[in-house]
């Protein structure tokens, strides 16, 4: 029995979770929304998704190659970033603009800050905001090819002008908007998957959406239908389940999540109501990302039998 | 009680839970270390050439916090040699060649206990130490003038694979009962609570019967969530009291004793036989025949594996104890000692952990820590030499249960960093 034994510090067993299994779960959870987007907006949407994902992965690969860093594309986080960005873009986005957005997300927001886990803001959201400002000709929505709907205005714009949008179209997503944000059924399905797989907890999405609803409800003179329409419009559901829950840029503790979600909800309504852009979800999450380190330091977990006692 | 402390669902892998313990024949040589406890090494009182029997004193407690050590076999002392122990200390070991007879020392006889002093003296002589893992001399816990509200018996056994404690609860119920009766007769204890994880129906059944016979005893069922057996967790979940940083159970009026420790106490009081053998769970994917084995203390790990029909896969890692907190050993010459509750052997597949990747700040470590420590924060603070921040994140509370490293999707060595940060903090404070 002369064979050598491996010595290591405990624990000697490990859960099956890894960064790539978590990212794989997020991709699976986004698939219903992606499929719904392609069905509603046509094959052009598929093109945007393909470009964003491919460019994101290639950018990360090249960055790691040039900077002689260990290759990290296997963790699938670049795929998630590319996919999320695409789902936040309208189907008629010029493909070259989609590519530049993807490069910006990966290189500027993620890799230059040190790669996965080190970015201070969510790459996909920041890239979306960057594109909104950089490409002024980029519309914020494309319109369904599937059915005839009110052309020319997104639900949020219609609602802001005092119009009405049917709840049914908001739920099924046969409305104008970004590729992945319109079909609420698909988004909620994906969100439930993430909850069941314990990738995310309920705190951020539920509190974010509820806060937005309540604040809107107050501002809309307690009109339930109108407030519900506002809540189901724009990128709120996509943002609440998939962007605001990004580990790196949101708090880890329960109370941290509560503060983060309430803040994002209030900001979303403020921007939607008084801002010059019709949609506020991206800006709201981005602003809360910046506040995240502070929220984390305000909300540590209580130590069991710690010295403070 | 507010709620249960956090923890993780580890795979149980209690493959040996329905097997009875098998007594292994003594090997040719046993090597008994003089440190199998927390405290000073015992002083060797035999020399090469001396004849010893089962239960003969071979090393005497050196000071208050120390423990007697007895021969586990009959035979001849070959030599006293310095050996490296699993905790990194070097201490003398008594090497005895067995004559195979297992003749019992004439001095072994049941104890008559008539007072608390008698009891403490007997426990001190018994060589019994905390068998749940820590190896703290047992008599020290009971040797107190403070009021004791509860004696909490630890039957949680939350580590994967290990079943020796639950087996002891099933097979040595009488000894546990006797120990409880004697201890509560001479030490003023208001109630006795046996804490058991819900996944041990047989042990629960036996302990329920015990509780029915002894009104002072009650059972507290615990969720099968690791680490229920950790002292502070067990105390909180059984009596709802919080033991602060650096405090002991006695500070909240409780004494915690492992169920196997209690069985050993009962056996010693009834028969006079000190702690010379140990029920050990032998398991792991490399072991041909996993089972519970009653092993004479000092038997080499390789002899025990051989008794279990050797290996079906090449062993690449051998552990003292369970996979969450166990210590990996450098070779298989190391002996089974007093507080060994399991020896596990793993093949290549399980001997190496997955690759470490970047922290994604998912917060799993923070949210699974039973004590609310922030391991990821400590890791970053330790890397930038910010020990104050590490302390603020609670590193000094860390009991190294392993939950954080277990759940980390980036496979970061969080427990290891906590250990280093704690040691650095300690040496820094000593230096001041």
- pLDDT tens figures, B296-352: 999 999 999 999 999 999 999 999 999 999 999 988 999 999 999 999 999 998 888
For residue B201, the domain's CATH number is 3.40.50.11540
CA distance A108 to chain B (A): 18
C-alpha B69/C-alpha B86 separation (Å) is 18
Q: Do the chains contact at A306 and B332, CB–CB below 8 Å?
A: no
Q: Which residues of A touch B326 (CB under 8 A)?
A: 10, 12
Among A8, A11, A300, the residue with its CB nearest the CB of B374 is A300
Q: Examine the domain organization and report whether B246 and B384 are in the same domain.
A: no
Q: Is the pLDDT of residue A308 over 60?
A: no
Task: Note the pLDDT tens digit of each residue in B211-233.
Answer: 999 999 999 999 999 999 999 99
Task: Note the pLDDT tens digit of each residue in A228-266.
Answer: 999 999 999 999 999 999 999 999 999 999 999 999 999
Q: Which residues of A touch B328 (CB under 8 A)?
A: 5-8, 10, 12
Domain for residue B340, yes or no?
no
Query: Strand B327-328 relative to strand B315-320: parallel, antiparallel, unpaired?
Result: antiparallel
Among A12, A72, A116, the residue with its CB nearest the CB of B319 is A12
Q: Do the chains contact at B323 and A12, CB–CB below 8 Å?
A: yes
Please give the average per-residue pLDDT across B258-263, as a whole number: 96
Q: Is the pLDDT of residue A176 over 80?
A: yes
A44-83 residues touching B, CB cutoff 8 A:
72, 75, 77
Q: Do the chains contact at B362 and A305, CB–CB below 8 Å?
A: no
Query: Mind giving me the DSSP string for B50-100?
Result: -EE-BT-EEEE--SSS---EE-SS-EEEEEEEEEE-TTS-EEEEEEEEE-S
How many beta-carbon pairs under 8 angstroms link A with B? 161
Number of domains observed in the structure of chain B: 2
C-alpha B62/C-alpha B65 separation (Å) is 8
The average confidence (pLDDT) of chain B is 93
Q: What tokens appear for A162 in the block?
A: 């005092």
Q: Is the pLDDT of residue B432 over 90?
A: no
Q: Examine the domain organization and report whether B392 and B251 are in the same domain.
A: no
Q: Examine the domain organization and report whether B265 and B378 are in the same domain.
A: no
Q: Examine the domain organization and report whether B243 and B371 are in the same domain.
A: no
Residue B136 belongs to domain spanning: 116-271
Domain for residue B384, yes or no?
yes
Contact residues for A196 (Cβ-Cβ < 8 A; gap 6+): none
Question: SS3 for A163?
Answer: coil
Q: Examine the domain organization and report whether B382 and B251 are in the same domain.
A: no
Q: Which residues of B touch A306 (CB under 8 A)?
A: 244-245, 371-372, 394, 397
Q: What is the pLDDT of residue B2?
A: 52
Q: What tokens appear for A156 in the block?
A: 């949020």
Domain stop point among B249, B271, B293: B271
Per-residue CA distances from B274 to B54, B264, B269 (Å): 9, 8, 9
Domain for residue B345, yes or no?
no
Q: Do the chains contact at B350 and A22, CB–CB below 8 Å?
A: no
CA distance A192 to chain B (A): 18
Task: Note the pLDDT tens digit of each residue in A92-117.
Answer: 999 999 999 999 999 999 999 999 99
CA distance B71 to chain A (A): 27
Q: Do the chains contact at A6 and B11, CB–CB below 8 Å?
A: no
Q: What is the pLDDT of residue A145?
A: 62
Spacing of C-alpha A198 from chain mean position = 17
Q: Is the pLDDT of residue B87 over 80?
A: no
Domain for residue B288, yes or no?
no
Among A9, A18, A301, the residue with its CB nearest the CB of B415 is A9
Per-residue CA distances from B300 to B201, B304, B382 (Å): 33, 7, 38
Could you tell me which chain A residue has the CA closest to the CA of B370? A304
Q: Which residues of B touch A76 (CB under 8 A)?
A: none
Q: Which residues of A touch B358 (CB under 8 A)?
A: 19, 72, 115-118
Q: Examine the domain organization and report whether B389 and B263 are in the same domain.
A: no
Per-residue CA distances from A173 to A160, A170, A239, B352 (Å): 19, 5, 15, 48
Q: What is the pLDDT of residue A183?
A: 95
Could you tell me which chain B residue has the CA closest to the CA of A254? B367
C-alpha B184/C-alpha B189 separation (Å) is 6
Q: Do the chains contact at A19 and B372, CB–CB below 8 Å?
A: no
Q: Examine the domain organization and report whether B249 and B143 are in the same domain.
A: yes
Domain for residue B369, yes or no?
yes
Please give the average per-residue pLDDT across A201-219, as a whole number: 97
Phi and psi dihedrals of B135, rounded to 5? 75, 30
Q: Do the chains contact at B397 and A304, CB–CB below 8 Å?
A: yes
Domain stop point among B255, B271, B287: B271
Q: What is the pLDDT of residue B112?
A: 86
Please indicate if any CB of chain B lies within 8 Å of the CB of A258.
no
| Under 8 Å between Cβ of B278 and B338 | yes
Q: Is B84 exposed, middle or buried (0-12, 13-18, 19+ CB in 10 A)?
A: middle
Q: What is the pLDDT of residue B418?
A: 96
C-alpha A177/C-alpha A235 separation (Å) is 8
pLDDT band (50, 70, 90) for residue A152: low
Q: Do the chains contact at A15 and B393, CB–CB below 8 Å?
A: no
Q: What is the pLDDT of residue A138?
A: 67
Q: What is the pLDDT of residue A140?
A: 65
Task: Note the pLDDT tens digit of each residue in B119-170.
Answer: 999 999 999 999 987 789 999 999 988 889 999 999 999 999 999 999 999 9
Q: Which residues of B touch A110 (CB under 8 A)?
A: none
Domain for residue B325, yes or no?
no
Q: What is the pLDDT of residue A1?
A: 45
Please indicate if any CB of chain B lies within 8 Å of the CB of A151.
no
Q: Do the chains contact at A14 and B353, CB–CB below 8 Å?
A: yes
Domain stop point among B271, B296, B319: B271
Q: Examine the domain organization and report whether B253 and B384 are in the same domain.
A: no
Q: Do the chains contact at B360 and A247, CB–CB below 8 Å?
A: yes
| Under 8 Å between Cβ of A270 and A281 | no
Q: What is the pLDDT of residue A21?
A: 96
Q: Examine the domain organization and report whether B254 and B137 are in the same domain.
A: yes
Q: Which of A271-275, B192-196, B218-222 has the lowest mean pLDDT?
A: A271-275
Q: Is the pLDDT of residue A309 over 50?
A: no
pLDDT band (50, 70, 90) for residue A123: very high
Question: How many Cβ atoms from other residues are within 10 Å of residue B129's Cβ?
Answer: 27
pLDDT band (50, 70, 90) for residue A160: confident
Please give the average per-residue pLDDT across A45-70, as a whole number: 97
Please give the average per-residue pLDDT across B89-102, as a whole number: 92
Q: Which of A10, A253, A295 has the highest number of chain B CBs within 10 A, making it the mutation to test binding with B?
A: A10
Domain for residue B56, yes or no?
no
pLDDT band (50, 70, 90) for residue A167: confident
Domain for residue B334, yes or no?
no
Task: Note the pLDDT tens digit of each residue in B50-84.
Answer: 999 999 999 999 989 999 999 999 999 999 999 88
Global pTM value: 0.92
Could you tell me which chain A residue has the CA closest to the CA of B9? A15
């Amino acid at each position: 029995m002369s064979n050598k034994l491996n010595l290591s510090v405990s624990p000697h067993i490990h859960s099956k979770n890894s960064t790539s299994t978590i990212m794989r779960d997020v991709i699976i959870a986004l698939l219903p929304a992606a499929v719904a987007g392609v069905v509603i907006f046509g094959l052009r949407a598929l093109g945007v998704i393909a470009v964003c994902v491919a460019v994101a992965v290639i950018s990360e690969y090249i960055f790691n190659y040039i900077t002689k860093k260990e290759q990290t594309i296997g963790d699938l986080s670049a795929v998630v970033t590319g996919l999320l960005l695409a789902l936040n873009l309208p189907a008629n986005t010029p493909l070259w603009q989609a590519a530049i957005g993807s490069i910006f997300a990966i290189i500027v927001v993620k890799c230059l800050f040190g790669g996965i886990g080190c970015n201070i803001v969510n790459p996909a959201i920041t890239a979306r905001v960057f594109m909104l400002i950089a490409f002024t000709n980029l519309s914020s929505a494309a319109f369904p090819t599937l059915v005839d709907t009110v052309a020319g205005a997104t639900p949020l714009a219609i609602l802001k002008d005092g119009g009405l949008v049917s709840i049914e179209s908001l739920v099924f997503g046969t409305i104008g908007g970004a590729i992945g944000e319109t079909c609420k059924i698909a988004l909620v399905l994906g969100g439930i998957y993430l909850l069941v797989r314990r990738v995310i907890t309920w705190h951020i999405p539920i509190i974010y959406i509820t806060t937005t609803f309540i604040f809107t409800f107050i501002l809309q003179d307690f009109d339930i239908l109108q407030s519900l329409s506002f809540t189901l419009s724009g990128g709120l559901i996509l943002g609440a389940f998939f962007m605001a829950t990004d580990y790196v840029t949101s708090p880890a503790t329960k109370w941290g999540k509560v503060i983060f979600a309430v803040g994002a909800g209030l900001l979303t309504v403020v921007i939607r109501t008084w801002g010059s852009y019709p949609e506020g979800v991206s800006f709201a999450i981005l602003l809360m990302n910046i506040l995240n380190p502070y929220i984390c330091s305000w909300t540590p977990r209580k130590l069991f039998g710690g010295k403070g006692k | 009680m507010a709620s249960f402390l956090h923890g993780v669902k580890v795979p149980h892998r209690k493959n040996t839970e329905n097997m009875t313990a098998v007594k292994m024949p003594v090997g040719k040589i046993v090597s008994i270390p003089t440190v199998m406890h927390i405290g000073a090494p015992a002083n060797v009182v035999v020399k090469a050439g001396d004849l010893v029997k089962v239960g003969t004193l071979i090393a005497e407690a050196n000071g208050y916090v120390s423990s007697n050590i007895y021969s586990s076999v009959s035979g001849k002392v070959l030599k006293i040699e310095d050996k490296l122990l699993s905790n990194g200390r070097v201490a003398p070991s008594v090497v005895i060649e067995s004559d195979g007879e297992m003749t019992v020392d004439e001095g072994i006889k049941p104890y008559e206990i008539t007072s608390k002093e008698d009891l403490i003296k007997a426990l001190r002589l018994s060589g019994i130490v905390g068998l749940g893992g820590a190896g703290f001399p047992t008599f020290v816990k009971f040797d107190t003038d403070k009021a004791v509200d509860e004696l909490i018996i630890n039957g949680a056994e939350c580590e994967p694979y290990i079943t020796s404690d639950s087996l002891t609860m099933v097979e040595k119920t009488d000894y546990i009962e006797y120990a409880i009766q004697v201890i509560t007769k001479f030490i003023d204890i208001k109630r006795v609570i046996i804490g058991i994880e819900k996944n041990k129906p047989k042990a629960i059944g036996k302990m329920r019967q015990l509780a029915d016979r002894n009104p002072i005893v009650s059972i507290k069922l615990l969720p099968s969530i690791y680490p229920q057996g950790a002292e502070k967790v067990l105390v909180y979940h059984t009596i709802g009291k919080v033991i602060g940083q650096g405090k002991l159970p006695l500070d909240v009026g409780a004494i915690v004793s492992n169920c196997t420790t209690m069985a050993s106490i009962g056996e010693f009081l009834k028969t006079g036989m000190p702690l010379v053998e140990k029920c050990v769970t032998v398991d792991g994917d490399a072991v041909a025949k996993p089972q519970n084995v009653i092993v004479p203390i000092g038997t080499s790990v390789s002899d025990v594996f051989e008794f279990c029909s050797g290996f079906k896969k090449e062993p690449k890692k051998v552990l003292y104890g369970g996979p969450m907190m166990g210590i990996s050993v450098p070779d298989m010459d190391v002996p089974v000692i007093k507080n060994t509750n399991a020896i596990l052997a793993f093949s290549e597949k399980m001997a190496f952990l997955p690759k470490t990747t970047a922290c994604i700040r998912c917060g799993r470590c923070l949210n699974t820590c039973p004590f609310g420590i922030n391991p990821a924060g400590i890791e970053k603070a330790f890397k930038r030499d910010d020990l104050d921040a590490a302390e603020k994140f609670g590193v000094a509370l860390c009991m190294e249960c392993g939950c954080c490293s277990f759940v980390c999707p980036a496979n970061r060595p969080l427990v290891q960093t906590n250990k280093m940060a704690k040691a650095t903090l300690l040496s820094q404070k000593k230096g001041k």
